[in-house]
Amino acid sequence: MPKFLDTQAISHELMTVIKEAKEKIILVSPYLKVNSQIQERLKTKSKIGTLAEMVIVYGKSELKQSELEWIKEIDDLKIYEKSNLHAKCYLNEDKAIICSMNLYDYSQQNNIEMGILITKHHDREAYESLIEEINNIKVNGVRMRFDSLNQPAPIMIANHSSTLVHSIEKHELTADQKLKFQILKNWRYVKSREEKTPAYLILTDEEIRSIATGDKIDANFLYETLQKKKAIRYNEEILYQLGRCKYYAIGKVVNVWYQDNQNSYDRVKLKFAGSNEEKWFDTTQELPKTNSEVAVQLNKSWFNDYFYLDV
């Protein structure tokens, strides 16, 4: 049963949604001026590395430099812009807040706000409808990338020896390297859940990148690239995961088409990497975002399991 929330309760439940998240955090707000507590929680969740999805959707308003600075620090935070957005909702894999309050410091401290809290367990239909609507907003929104956010300077990160190094920009990887990177990152997520350990203790992003960009990836390469303990423990699994790359095609989503009277299924038009060939495929999957680069398992005319190549 939905629970009514006043201003103070919305702020409290918002922090709870973020702290208790184990799989996803999605924050939808037309305006952004995120307080330091929420920023720190999102950074912590990112460093732990157990979330499959961390998303902020905002309206068409210019992000201030102060927002850009903390956003750029979270590599796996995805930002979408939707120009006509007026909705406000905040959710994880178990519960969702639908309310009048923007993700804006002033709103939390000065406005009179109202909202409701629903849970996936008790309000499944409402929760799943909310997820469906958010997916629709993302598909029709604009994915904001780091190089489009006021041309930010390179991010500085610390490695294990505490030496500062420049992060490698996403566009520097080839399509095949992105596929390897994402395959290993997806495996790392599942492995971290199985072992109940932070993902970075299995493989760091830098280690995954080193593997993905290697010329000849075999057991010897892994022993030279990884810490000895990691190489011994995960050697076979890493090589097996990389072997799965051959089952995926890489391409750009040119167009999508929803099921209608002429088509029994939703459809995806894919432009294959390295060629000008374009082809329509039927799918029962959630439709991917147009203009996105994906790795997908194809079977004749079917667009099957896929994931985005966002590195």
Report DSSP letters for 65-114, one per residue: HHHHHHHTT-TT-EEEE-TT----EEEESSEEEEES--EEHHHHHHS--E
Check whether residue 182 and residue 285 sit in a common domain: no
pLDDT of residue 160 exceeding 70: no
Residue 189, phi then psi, degrees to nearest 5: -60, -50
Check whether residue 111 and residue 58 sit in a common domain: yes
Check whether residue 188 and residue 137 sit in a common domain: no
Check whether residue 101 and residue 133 sit in a common domain: yes
Inside any domain, residue 154: no
Domain boundary among 220, 246, 272: 246
Inside any domain, residue 14: yes
Residue 271, phi then psi, degrees to nearest 5: -105, 120
pLDDT of residue 272 exceeding 90: yes
Q: CA-CA distance, 166 to 210, in Å (whole number)?
A: 14
Check whether residue 258 and residue 142 sit in a common domain: no
Residue 311 pLDDT grade (very low, low, confident, very high; cuts 50, 70, 90):
low
Residue 198 pLDDT grade (very low, low, confident, very high; cuts 50, 70, 90):
confident
Q: How far from 259 is each of 256, 286, 290, CA to CA, in Å?
A: 10, 12, 16
- Give the pLDDT confidence of 57-80 residue by residue, as tens digits: 999 777 788 888 899 888 789 899
pLDDT > 90 in the chain, percent: 59
Check whether residue 94 and residue 40 sit in a common domain: yes
Q: CA-CA distance, 277 to 267, in Å (whole number)?
A: 16
Q: CA-CA distance, 125 to 38, in Å (whole number)?
A: 28
Q: What is the mean pLDDT of residues 137-161?
A: 56
Domain boundary among 246, 275, 294: 246
Higher pLDDT, 36 or 60: 36
Higher pLDDT, 206 or 56: 56
Tell me if 27 sits within 8 A of 57, measured CB to CB: yes
Total tally of structural domains belonging to the chain: 3
Residue 146 pLDDT grade (very low, low, confident, very high; cuts 50, 70, 90):
low
Q: What is the CATH number of the domain that holds 270?
A: 2.40.50
pLDDT computed for residue 28 by the predictor: 96
| Block residue for tokens 């993302």 | 138
Check whether residue 16 and residue 105 sit in a common domain: yes
In whole numbers, what is the pLDDT of the chain averaged over residues? Answer: 86
Check whether residue 20 and residue 30 sit in a common domain: yes
pLDDT computed for residue 9 by the predictor: 95
pLDDT computed for residue 158 by the predictor: 37
pLDDT of residue 231 exceeding 50: yes
pLDDT of residue 237 exceeding 90: yes
Tell me if 101 sits within 8 A of 10, measured CB to CB: yes
First to last CA, the chain: 39
Residue 138 pLDDT grade (very low, low, confident, very high; cuts 50, 70, 90):
confident
Q: CA-CA distance, 68 to 305, in Å (whole number)?
A: 33
Please give the residue range of the domain that contains residue 133. 3-148
Q: What is the mean pLDDT of residues 156-173?
A: 42
Inside any domain, residue 153: no
pLDDT computed for residue 147 by the predictor: 52
Query: With DSSP H G I counted as helix, E B as strand and the rest as coil, what are the percentages for the chain, rounded to 5?
Result: 40, 25, 35
Look at the pTM and tell me if it is higher than 0.75.
Answer: no
Check whether residue 118 and residue 7 sit in a common domain: yes
- Give the pLDDT confidence of 177-188 residue by residue, as tens digits: 999 999 999 999
Check whether residue 140 and residue 176 sit in a common domain: no
Tell me if 268 sits within 8 A of 304, measured CB to CB: no
Check whether residue 121 and residue 21 sit in a common domain: yes
Q: What is the mean pLDDT of residues 188-195?
A: 91
Domain boundary among 96, 113, 148: 148
pLDDT computed for residue 62 by the predictor: 74
Check whether residue 53 and residue 172 sit in a common domain: no
pLDDT of residue 36 exceeding 50: yes
Q: What is the CATH number of the domain that holds 172?
A: 1.10.150
Q: CA-CA distance, 176 to 242, in Å (whole number)?
A: 11
Inside any domain, residue 11: yes
Residue 141 pLDDT grade (very low, low, confident, very high; cuts 50, 70, 90):
confident
